[in-house]
Structure 1
Amino acid sequence: MEEESRITPLETVSPGPEEIVLDLWETGIRFVEGLIRPWNAYQMIIALALLVVAHIAARFLAPKWEAWLRTREGWPTWRMRFGVLVHRRMSLIVFVAIIWPVIWGMREFTWPSRSYLLAIIGQIAFAWLVIALATRFIGNATLRSLVRTGGWAWVTVSILGLTDDMVALMDGLALTLGEMRLSVWMIVQAVVIIGALFFAARFLSANSARRIRKKTDISPSIQVLTIKILQVVLYGAAIFIGLKAVGVDLTGLAFLSGAIGVGLGFGLQKVVSNLVSGFILLLDKSIKPGDVISLGETFGWIEQMGARYVSVVTRDGREYLIPNEDLITGQVVNWSHTNAFVRLDIHFGIAYHNDPHEVRKVAIEAAKSVERVLSFRPPVCHIVGFGDSSVDYILRFWIDDPTGGLTNIRGNVYLALWDAFKEHGIDIPFPQREVRLLGDGKAEC
């Protein structure tokens, strides 16, 4: 009896991929053979006839729907995109709309077995339509196509009752790496779960970023820093939770990730340096979105601060992508770091016969007449030297909106000086040269 108690039942051996494929093949053959039966063949003919009718009806309805959409100019973008999707899927919509009344009628007046195939086709068509409409809200076109195709394949397999066989087939196609078993089914689960988590992380980060930007009491640099940290946390959590959910042993990847980290450290030094420099710029608040900076020959205002570079837009519309490291190691002029006040200097010369006291007074009043020149920080004018043909002056004035441009305000002040000097009879001299021809003084014959 003791020996009998030691006898264990035979272990159940799961079928291999070859056996599953053969089983699916036999199932497919039986399905095709079943179509030869009269009522099954009739149902396929009815489905094909309904498909032709739906296609013809869609050819008639689609132009009318498109013409109606063109009159909806005030619609939001998402609603207009949904209308375009309805136009593109008009055949499928009409097919779903007419096949189900046929199914319900056949169930009412015939046996359920005589509408079995039509019900399966109707379920697949309806599921495909729902997936096509739902995936339209995914912004990325490649991701949208991938999700839509995967969803169509999965619902088709589920409705046909082949889910267990397909899962077993994908789970049988596996690769063993040490103690970790990596199968196709695990990869599919990881892609689906991580994709869904990434979509949720993107949705949360976008909404959170929108709310953070509305907080006027938070400085722009802190806003950008908070948004970047939030994105790193959300996307990192999505990857970690997704891998754990599908059963991936993350401890086995520790050594591999360490080796990859060392390789990346040597090969991506500049990238890492720019990433770290970006966080330093956000923390020390030396520059922030909206600041006006000068770096070498580049002068403009900061449009946005990325993880690797800062976007600087110049007055002529050019957008320079300056690496964050250059802003840390180079000499940067921030015209609006602590405040937006900027002092500008203009040099000019006046003839010696003009009264310098009057010149200074006229120049100051001319500068005050320009709109952007600050009145509570009044302009000043000083003599800076006596030149060869003019008395040299410097006119200094302040503005508080450097983002409006510096060259244009200088030009406006120069134009105001020109008009004021012309009105008061003040002369702006220019160098004069006298040319003499030397000769013996004899007339040539």
Structure 2
Amino acid sequence: MRGGTRRDAPMRVAAPEAAMQKLVDPVYLEMQLRALIDWLFAEVLVLSSLGQLAVILLAYLVAYAGRRQWSVLIAWLTHWRGADHIVAKTGETLSVVALPFIWLVLQYLSGLIAAFASWPHHLMTVTVSLLTVWIIIRLTAVLIRDRAWARAITIGAWTIAALNIVNLLDPTMAFLDSLDITLGELRISVLLVIKGMLSLAILLWLASLSARMLEQRIRALPNITPSMQVLFTKLARMLLLVIAIFVAMSIVGIDLTAFAVFSGALGVGIGFGLQKSVSNLFTGMMILMDRSIKPGDVIEVGTTYGTINSLGGRYASVITRDGIEHLIPNEELVSQRVANWTHSDSDIRLRLAVGIAYGSDVPLAMETCIEAAKSVERVLPRRQPNCLISGFGDSSIDLELRLWISDPHNGVANVKSEVYLQIWKMFKENGIEMPFPQRDIHIKSQPAPV
């Protein structure tokens, strides 16, 4: 065996040398060129292929000439006064694919006519597949920001187009359909799962897009309160998502009655595993229906004080003055005491404690406090500030200044600080003394011992 291996070695080395010699052999190259020319005249440069190429070129020229008119038409349809941002964005996206879209429509119609007349149309079919992939990739690049999803859609589009070009799409689908399992009367195949996932993804995306457009429409209605706007938006979104799921199941041919067996198990799962989530969901619906709180309200829950940014299906987003966003479960907004500072009226009264020395002019100090409050811009002039004596302390006469503001969402501590600063300045101007703790010590002298 070793001897045979050594004798075969020169032959293995000589094979690449022979191939290299063929590449530089004029006779061999001439033979290959003639074979290529014969194939071109037999397969490509024939009347049917040239006719298809002419139709493809003509469709491209027509699409190229009409791309500007298409863009103008799309802009007129989507940029009318009052159009939603999503509608305008859709128009800009369709303008990007104007050329391939018109070309695809013309090419598809040409292919249908050729197929109906039993003419050769293989090149037209290839062109339609490539144009479809082109449009999908352009739309994916514009509409989908996630690179992973965009890459997956691009790979899937190219795979389907390649299988369609080489006439392997139908055999591949038949093979995937043969890989199945049967659960009672329900037959599930790999092809069914793929179709279901694609249909569900597209329908969920369309439902989400429709929900956003509907949300913009609802928020533009002036006669609906913010809480009812959120309620209608959430209900519409849930309804659209449920419809998308059922439509996707119907498209792939799944009988919805086959899932009746699993309804009991689903109810048990919701009752135990999703108890908190379902409770927060329905609690949020109750909050929106009774309009106890709404976006923009200033609330205080426990130690959290801030403005409601949004009301979600499971929680409410509350942003504090520190810029911290607290996600408070909806259940806590019902089970705990909530102070809504702007529920029926945004006006709130603030109480400021002020102390003056016992030797000060009390009526002048009280009037000075009122004037200091009036000089602050955020203090409401229509609700006059008031100053009262609240008591007599160890070192001071205690006053209480009461004032009103109408914008608690802009902060409370800052307006108090501004009023205190004005009081300090005006006290200095009027000679009103501010107290500080004092203690008098009396020392009793003892008689000297005899």
TM-score where L is the length of structure 1: 0.71
- Show the counterpart of 1:129: 134
CA shift, 1:367, in A, is 0.4
Structure 2 CA distance for aligned equivalents of residues 308 and 40 of structure 1? 70
Pick aligned residue for 1:138 from 130, 138, 143: 143
After TM superposition, the structure 1 = structure 2 runs for residues 2-401 of structure 1, keeping only pairs within 5 Å, are 38-39=35-36, 126-139=131-144, 141=146, 142-401=148-407
Structure 1 residue 440, shift from structure 2 partner: 8.9
- SS of the equivalent of 2:415 reads helix
The amino acid of 1:414's aligned partner reads: Y
CA contact (8 A) 1:345 1:396 kept: yes
Question: The residue matched to 2:213 in structure 1 has which SS?
Answer: helix
The residue matched to 1:254 in structure 2 has which SS?
helix
Partner AA of 1:136 in structure 2: A
Q: Distance in 1 between matches of 2:130 and 2:343?
A: 61
Residues 192 and 223 of structure 1: is their aligned pair in 2 closer, same or farther, counting only changes over 3 Å?
same
CA distance in structure 1 between the partners assigned to 2:203 and 2:196 by the alignment: 10
2:311–2:317 CA contact under 8 A, matched in 1: yes
Identity fraction in percent: 42
- Per-residue CA deviation, residues 379-425 of structure 1 (Å, 9 max, x unaligned), is 00000111112111100000000111000001011011111111111
**Is residue 126–residue 165 contact of structure 2 (8 Å, CA) maintained in 1?**
no
Closer/same/farther in 2, CA of residues 315 and 441 from structure 1, 3 Å limit: farther
* CA distance, structure 2, for counterparts of residue 256 and residue 206 of structure 1: 32
Cross-structure match for 2:103: none
Distance in 1, matches of 2:183 and 2:214, equals 40
Q: 8 Å contact 1:123–1:159 — kept in the other structure?
A: no
Listed one character per residue, the Cα deviations across residues 347-398 of structure 1 (whole Å, up to 9, x for unaligned) are 1111122222111111111101100000110000000111112111100000
CA distance in 2, matches of 1:41, 1:309: 73
Is the alpha carbon distance of 1:160 and 1:431 closer, same or farther for their aligned partners in structure 2, counting shifts above 3 Å?
same
Question: Counterparts of 2:150 and 2:422 in 1: how far apart (Å)?
Answer: 59
Change (3 A) 1:121 1:247: closer
Tell me what 2:10 maps to.
none
Paired with 2:145 and 2:247, the residues of 1 have a C-alpha distance of 23
1:292 deviation in Å?
0.5
Q: Report the Cα distance in structure 2 between the residues aligned to 1:40 and 1:312, rounded to whole angstroms.
A: 75
Distance 1:439 1:184, change over 3 A: farther
Deviation at 1:150, TM superposition (A): 2.0
For the residues of structure 1 that align with 2:37 and 2:380, how far apart are their CA atoms? 88
CA contact (8 A) 1:131 1:152 kept: no
Q: Could you say if the C-alpha distance between residues 40 and 203 of structure 1 is closer, same or farther in structure 2, counting changes exceeding 3 Å?
A: farther
1:132 maps to amino acid: I
Residues in 1 aligned to 2:447 and 2:309: alpha-carbon distance in whole angstroms: 72
Residues 194, 439 of structure 1: CA spacing in aligned structure 2 closer, same or farther, 3 A cutoff? same
- For each residue in 1:30-80, what CA deviation from the matched residue of structure 2 results, as whole angstroms up to 9, or x when unmatched? xxxxx999439998xxxxxxxxxxxxxxxxxxxxxxxxxxxxxxxxx979x
Figure out how many residues of one structure are paired with residues of the other and give that number. 349
CA–CA separation in structure 2 for the residues paired with 1:124 and 1:148: 13
Q: Is the 8 A contact 1:293 1:335 kept in 2?
A: yes
For residues 177 and 152 of structure 2, the distance between their equivalents in structure 1, rounded to whole angstroms, comes to 21
**What SS does the corresponding residue of 2:196 show, helix, strand or coil?**
helix
Tell whether the 8 Å contact from 2:314 to 2:330 is kept in structure 1 after alignment.
Answer: yes
3-state SS of 1:370 partner = coil
- Quote how far apart the aligned CAs of 1:234 are: 0.5
Contact 1:368 1:375 in 2 (8 A): yes
Relative to structure 1, is the Cα distance of residues 359 and 217 closer, same or farther in structure 2, using a 3 angstrom cutoff?
Answer: same
3-state SS, counterpart of residue 345 of structure 2 = coil
Q: Secondary structure at the match of 2:182?
A: strand
Instruction: Report the 3-state secondary structure (helix = DSSP H, G, I; strand = E; otherwise coil) of the residue aligned with 1:352.
Output: coil
Q: Distance in 2 between matches of 1:319 and 1:256?
A: 40
Q: Distance in 2 between matches of 1:379 and 1:232?
A: 49
| Unpaired runs of at least 5, structure 2 | 1-31, 41-87, 101-119
Given residue 162 of structure 1, which amino acid in structure 2 is its aligned partner?
Answer: L
State whether residues 296 and 309 of structure 2, in contact with CA within 8 Å, keep that contact through their aligned partners in structure 1: yes
How many angstroms apart in 1 are the aligned matches of 2:388 and 2:287? 39
- Classify 1:124/1:330 alpha carbon distance in 2 versus 1 (closer, same or farther; 3 Å): same
Q: Deviations over 1:115-156 (max 9, x none)?
A: x99x99877655433321122233352433333222222222
Q: Secondary structure at the match of 1:320?
A: strand
Letter of the aligned partner of 1:265 in structure 2?
A: G
- Residue aligned with 1:357, SS: helix
* Equivalent in the alignment of 2:28: none
Q: Distance in 1 between matches of 2:437 and 2:383?
A: 35
Q: Is the CA contact 2:227–2:295 (under 8 Å) kept in the aligned structure 1?
A: yes
Query: Following the alignment from structure 1 to structure 2, what is the Cα–Cα distance between the partners of residues 137 and 441?
Result: 101
Provide TM-score, normalisation by structure 2.
Answer: 0.70
Shift, 1:159, TM fit: 2.1
CA contact (8 A) 1:120 1:160 kept: no
Encode CA deviations 1:182-237: one digit per residue, 9 max, x unaligned: 11121122122222211221111111111212223211111111110000110100
Describe the SS at the equivalent of 2:350: strand
Q: Which amino acid in 2 is paired with 1:340? A: S
